[in-house]
């Protein structure tokens, strides 16, 4: 039985329907052919040139990413731009790229929920429910907020994040001894949801990609912010979801190999 691109599209649509993407987002098949037969699959956070080369080396003609390759409409496709180089290289090598982004963040069992489970937060709700939820769906949406069974300090929360997400370094604001009873988590870049988290009573917000003035203002309002980085608040969940995806296609009778990218790494380095 041959696995085709349309089969993966069907699997992903059932797991993380594209209707749950945010309005600014672009998800689904970025480059490729729905009728193409899939050889092996490479899972990555981003479709970088290194990831494309890795796909070629591992004989993968399908790359499944979290971040969309095509986020904004390109004005042209030439080797004079990084995006153009990628698209030309993908087409020349018959490699398909599929991206599941904010829809995968949003749904039950997606990136948001997986990060919460990795951090061992159990009693949590969604910060902002999707406008496209069915009446009985009280989960799909961006961000999660948890009421802790036992209050902990900012210092202890930083240690938990570093250990559970395997983060070597992080940035944080707030008094180390401040007590946290309610914590908000927005994986990736979450600043636009800070005010919603505040309204819901968060003592601490865990996210990535924060900027000075946001953090400074929230520190004045006595809300701690832990910035563990965009990559590190998403990649651990992507790895787990890749393993679940592999199990899914195996139970469907497909024998295709699923590789987790070894070349897709955090672009930041620390000294």
Could you list the residues known to form a binding site for a divalent metal cation, using ranges. Answer: 66-67, 105, 230, 234
Cα–Cα distance between 246 and 94 in angstroms, integer? 22
Which letter, b or e, does each residue of 52-78 get, where b requires 16 or more Cβ atoms within 10 Å of its Cβ?
bebbbeeebbbbbbbbbbbeeeeeeee
Q: Which residues are annotated as a binding site?
A: 66-67, 105, 230, 234
Cα–Cα distance between 119 and 200 in angstroms, integer? 20
Comparing CA positions, the residue from 188, 182, 41 lying closest to residue 111 is 188
Cα–Cα distance between 97 and 104 in angstroms, integer? 16
Contact status, residue 30 vs residue 69, Cβ threshold 8 Å: yes
In sequence order, what are the beta bridge partners of 180?
152
Q: CB-based contacts of 110: which residues, under 8 Å, 6+ apart? A: 16, 103, 104, 237, 241
């Amino acid at each position: 039985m041959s696995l085709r691109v349309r089969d993966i599209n069907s699997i992903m649509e059932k797991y993380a329907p594209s209707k749950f993407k945010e309005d600014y987002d672009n998800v689904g098949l970025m480059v490729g052919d729905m009728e193409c037969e899939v050889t092996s699959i490479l899972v990555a956070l981003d479709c970088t040139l290194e990831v494309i080369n890795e796909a070629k080396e591992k004989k993968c003609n399908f790359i499944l990413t979290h971040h969309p390759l095509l986020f904004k409409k390109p004005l042209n496709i030439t080797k004079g731009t990084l995006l153009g180089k990628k698209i030309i290289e993908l087409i020349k090598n018959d490699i398909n790229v599929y991206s599941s982004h904010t829809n995968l963040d949003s749904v039950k069992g997606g990136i948001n929920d997986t990060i919460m489970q990795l951090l061992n937060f159990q009693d949590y709700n969604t910060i902002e429910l999707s406008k496209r939820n069915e009446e009985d769906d009280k989960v799909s949406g961006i961000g999660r907020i948890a009421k802790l069974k036992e209050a902990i300090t900012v210092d202890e929360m930083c240690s938990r994040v570093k250990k559970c997400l395997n983060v070597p370094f992080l940035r944080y604001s707030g008094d180390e001894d401040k007590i946290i009873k309610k914590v908000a988590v927005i994986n990736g870049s979450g600043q636009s949801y800070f005010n919603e988290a505040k309204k819901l009573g968060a003592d601490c917000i865990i996210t990535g990609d924060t900027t000075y003035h946001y953090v400074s203002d929230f520190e004045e309002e006595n809300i701690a912010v832990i910035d563990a980085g965009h990559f590190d608040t998403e990649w651990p969940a992507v790895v787990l979801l890749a393993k679940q995806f592999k199990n899914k296609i195996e139970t469907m009778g497909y024998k295709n190999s699923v590789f987790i990218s070894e070349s897709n790494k955090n672009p930041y380095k620390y000294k």
